[in-house]
Chains A and B, each alone.
Chain A
């Protein structure tokens, strides 16, 4: 569906995307994970055929985005990072108008609009203007609009950023259904849990480059341990590095952060017992499963959401 080799995007002398290779198979849910400025949106805009690659090879649905942009766009559904709904149209008109851009007949546009309003649970707001909608509703409407042409690939740039947990879960559930119908999903996120919930496969991006690739599980297995112990010390802050030194040898790895020490071990409880045996007395302790956040921390030395 999507094939990119050594893809580069430059803005002036600034390189936003610095030679990435990506391949997405039909029906797959693929994720770009990375911190602010990693180049996720720049990559997504190239894939949506609205921004031309500076160099490298890019093929979408077997076609060249520069030459066949219009034909490719006809088969994509794009949900950009910033919503650009038509603020002076109603919820329903936003969908019917968009259907016409894809050359659909009015009747077909109305039929699909109603179907999609049900799908994203906005039927009761059909006649309302866009402006008073909540952030989550706007996002759902944007996703509905991206699906009006029954696209082969849906591109979602940070679909749930800025939403409350309830709105996020509703969106995830809708996206999950979309995936079950066999639609190829490509999304960007800087939420670990989102990537773990939705993505079959993902790449971790940092500074315009891909630093790791795999399924969420395989990434965790490769770059982290099964469990992580988070330790906080009452006089932490400056001393975390010292505490970490005292724990060396326990588990696989010890990582001092400004506010806590992370101890990577396949058996968290056993590691914790060893910490106590060495006479260390953390003020709080949390043993948890390893997440993509830990993978990211390990790969880049930085936390993901700042």
Chain B
């Protein structure tokens, strides 16, 4: 028997890609066209009034924020209904559970799939803004890495959440109280120094803020507010804790 030719997590990744082949047209708009339109309208339109932030033209300043925030929204959005659905409605994860695929492989397959999607979106986006002259440092090549780390740091805890709830109405809370505040207060559109001191900790705990600062320092070639290792460490903390929690939740959910 030709067993063991593929790792179970890769088999799960392939399944997700097979599904994606049917849907990719629909996602091109939200994951690629939308951010580009965004950069053009906000960066160039609003930038015309704002002028520059910290001595950098607004377009160049906002591009790394939008890249990271695109990755963040993709990682979060794709780990909600899709994950709950495979537990609850299609029960596809239960079907996998009846094979040598283990809960950790199911999670790994999902994360690999998101890394694939996010990386493609980030690379295309970078290519476009390159022509707008918005990448000012060769360090910009590290942006996909920061976004990959952000993807795991975001998707893993959200997967754990999706595996713990029984009704999709809980996602409304997630969007309202996590996604929107994180998107607004993580230094995507304006420096967090503008925030009241009381709200600033929201940025410090948000994985998005750390990724935004890493991306911004990469595309502008400047030093981030905290040491690079501190930003990376915070993202790693989210990624590792989220993954451990998600594996436990997946295992419990598939036990019944």
Contacts and interface: CB of A to CB of B under 8 A. Distances in A.
Interface of A: 45, 48, 50-52, 70-71, 73-74, 76, 78, 80, 82, 84-89, 93, 97-98, 100-105, 108, 149-150
B98 to A, nearest CB: 4
Contacts of A86: 15, 19, 90, 92, 95
Contacts of B98: 48, 50, 73, 76, 78, 80
B99 A102 contact: yes
B100 A73 contact: yes
Interface of B: 1-6, 8, 10-12, 14-15, 18-19, 22, 90-92, 94-102, 254-256
B254 A100 contact: no
Nearest to A83: B91
B3 A102 contact: yes
Prevailing SS type, chain A contact patch: loop
Contacts of A48: 98
Nearest to B15: A97
Contact of A101 (B2, B4, B99, B254): B99
Contacts of A93: 18
Nearest to B13: A100
Given A70-B100, A80-B98, A86-B95, A50 B2 contact: no
Contacts of B256: 45, 50-51
The 9 nearest A-B residue pairs measured at CB: A84-B91, A100-B11, A101-B99, A78-B98, A84-B95, A74-B100, A103-B3, A97-B15, A105-B5
B99 A108 contact: no
Contacts of B4: 103
B2 A82 contact: no
Contacts of B5: 103-105
A108 B2 contact: yes
A183 to B, nearest CB: 15
Select the residue from B19, B90, B97, B98 with max chain A CB neighbours within 10 A.
B98
Contact of A88 (B2, B8, B19, B91): B19
Contacts of B94: 50, 80, 84
A101 B96 contact: yes
Contacts of A74: 3, 99-100
